[in-house]
Structure 1
Amino acid sequence: MNAYLSVWKLRFINGLQYRAAALAGMATQLFFGFIFIMIFIAFYSQSTVRPPISLQELVAYIWLQQVFLAFVMLWFRDNEIFQLITSGNIAYELCRPCDIYPFWYSKLLAQRLSSAILRCFPILIVAFLLPHPYKLTLPPSLSTLALFLVTLVLGLLVVVSISMLIYISVFWTMSPTGSILMIAIAGEFFAGMVIPVPLMPQWMQTITYALPFRWTTDFPFRVYSGQIPQTEALWGILVQLAWLAVLVGFGRWWLRKALRQVVVQGG
């Protein structure tokens, strides 16, 4: 366990060094936050029916997407792991006196945390200071905020578990491009990052609820605004834990199978 904590700490500290990239990312995320909110303001102004999610809740949903983008984006990658697999340097990883799955998991988790910490607080400050209707509002209660933090952390763990499957697939495909494109595009859509899940048709919502992606983004962000009641949020936490157990269990099994078949050539 100490080895994995050390890896996490080193990668976390290393990730905090990229301040220029963080500044560029903050500017981009603020820009897209404004664009998405303006689109939905125009959409809501022309709506003749009561929407399933209020504009204030939707604004909070969009800002939280931008604030915690590093937590939820599936196209976030560690090229070092891809190069280890495709170049044959995975042999060095096999010589380490530790399990590869938690070793890589710790690195990916630290990368996302460090990236989010550099960007989230400035974006939060700006979003809280904006005028209505662009303003990010506080959760309805402290208990709602506590539930949001729990669901956000569990969603992060689920995202990293899904990301691990992308890396493991490269043992067979030898190229990360296809896996990243397929999983990232499908995952971000069904997570509600393109169209919020409450605005999807009912048949599409049924599909979304059956997949793990929605529990990484849509669920915690709607818990924050109170759009999902606290009792439902507690049941959702159990679903997140179940998905986390399934994804981690499958990922460990798939990685063991890949390592049994891996062939490293060279002198």
Structure 2
Amino acid sequence: MGEGTNKINNQIKRQLDILIATAFTTYKEWAAYRSHMAVSILVGPVFFLVQVFIWNAIYSTQSTVTGLTLNQMLVYFGIVSVINYLTYDSSDMDLQMLIRTGKFITFMLRPVSYFYYAMCQKIGHRVLALWVEFIPVYLLFLFVFKINLVPANLFWALISITLSFILVFLTNYCIGITGFWLTKTEGLRRAFQVLRDVCAGTLVPLTLFPDLMQKILFFMPFQFITYVPIRVFIGSYELAGIKMSIPEIVGLQAVFVVIMFFIYRLLWHLGTKRFTGVGA
């Protein structure tokens, strides 16, 4: 029993050491080019300003839209902007590039799986984004735009955003895996990003869709990427006439993360069988 426990503890320590080393290395690498990341600070505010103009015009003739006031709608898009800084991911592009060039073969020979390595890289990258992108934009929204971005329950909001962080990585990674079958995945990646943004509630709240569409979206994983974290942040959840408590919807979000993990494992198993290392 003692020997087995020691092995488990050593394995956990090893994985944590890999995570810290990889995340820190990625952090330092991107910190050298933080001005490149800082440019993206403009993306959130510009996106938000566009929404301000659009929704001010819409609300000029009515006081609510699908039960949301103008202030609530602006809070919604303010949260969209800041959450995207925390969950951004490019693992799909990175993976397909390694596969296409044949350089992925070097990761197949390493003792650490590329999946874990890519996740550690994302953690390091987003830690840097926390102070380069997220905090400046958050303060801008809070003090300049006067948008209340304080979560109704910080605990559940952090859990939901963390699950969204993982789900974005898993879905993008699955798109990257298609590189084992496709020569280039840029077209698929772009199509998927558009579909994801529409179905996740990034462009418009999902409650604006027709009832039938809302019911379909309820059973798809996309809502758990953006819409659910936002509703958890606000403190209430409703879609397709279905109301759930915050713990219930976060629990369902966790279930979809597990489902996506098994989908990734299946695609990975099938995809690696096709890899020949051409171009290496």
Q: Give the TM-score normalised by the residue count of structure 1.
A: 0.87
**Alpha-carbon distance, 1:78 to partner:** 6.3
> Which sections of structure 1, spanning at least 5 residues, go unmatched?
none
Of 104, 113, 117, which aligns to 1:90? 104
Match of 2:42 among 13, 18, 27: 27
Please name the residue that 2:183 is paired with.
Answer: 174
- Out of 255, 267, 274, the residue aligned to residue 242 of structure 1 is 255
Deviates more, 1:12-21 or 1:177-186: 12-21
Cα distance, 1:266 vs structure 2: 6.2
Summarize deviations over 1:65-120 as a string: whole Å, max 9, x none.
2122234457x456443321101111111110122322223223433443344211
Q: Distance in 2 between the 1:127 and 1:48 partners?
A: 23
Q: Which letter does structure 2 place at the counterpart of 1:51?
A: T
Deviation of 1:162 after TM superposition, in Å, equals 0.5
Q: What is the alpha-carbon distance in structure 2 between the residues aligned to residue 62 and residue 263 of structure 1?
A: 45
- What does residue 173 of structure 2 align with? 164
Q: Is the 2:100–2:183 Cα contact (8 Å) retained in structure 1?
A: yes
The 1:258/1:53 distance shift into structure 2, 3 A limit, reads same
Does structure 2 conserve the Cα–Cα contact (< 8 Å) formed by 1:193 and 1:217? yes
Q: 1:119, 1:176 → 2: CA distance?
A: 28
> Please, which runs of 5 or more residues in structure 2 have no aligned partner?
1-14
Provide closer, same or farther for how the CA distance between residues 245 and 204 of structure 1 changes in structure 2, counting only shifts above 3 A: same
Deviates more, 1:109-118 or 1:198-207: 109-118
Give the number of equivalent residue pairs: 261
1:170·1:176 contact (CA, 8 Å) conserved in 2? yes
- Residues 80 and 47 from structure 1, CA distance in 2 versus in 1: closer, same or farther, beyond 3 angstroms? same
Identity %: 18
SS in 1 for 2:245: helix
CA distance in 2, matches of 1:40, 1:120: 24
* Aligned pairs (5 A) from 1:139-154: 139=150, 141=152, 144-154=153-163
CA distance in 2, matches of 1:103, 1:196: 34
When residues 83 and 161 of structure 1 are mapped into structure 2, their CA distance, relative to the original with a 3 A threshold, is: same
Q: Does 2:30 match 1:15?
A: yes
**Aligned CA-pair RMSD:** 2.4
The aligned runs of 1:110-129 (5 Å cut-off) are 110-129=124-143
How much does 1:242 deviate? 0.8
Q: Secondary structure at the match of 1:68?
A: helix
Counterpart AA for 1:135: K
Aligned to 2:12: none
CA distance in 1, matches of 2:64, 2:94: 50
Q: Deviations over 1:215-267 (max 9, x none)?
A: 11111112222243896111111111111111112212211221122112468
Distance 1:69 1:50, change over 3 A: closer
Which residue identity lines up with residue 264 of structure 2 in the other structure?
A: G
Distance in 2 between residues matched to 1:59 and 1:247, nearest whole Å: 31
Counterpart check, 1:135 vs 2:146: yes
Cα distance in structure 2, aligned partners of 1:257 and 1:163: 17
Retained in 2: the 8 A contact 1:128–1:137? yes
Structure-2 change in CA distance of 1:137 and 1:48 (3 Å)? closer
The answer to whether the Cα contact below 8 Å between 1:148 and 1:223 also exists between their aligned partners in 2 is yes
The C-alpha deviation readout for 1:30-67, integer Å capped at 9, x for no partner, is 12211112211221221276532232222111112212
For 1:102 and 1:140, locate their aligned partners in 2 and report how far apart those are by CA, in whole Å: 30
Q: Deviations over 1:5-43 (max 9, x none)?
A: 422332233233332223321123212211112211221
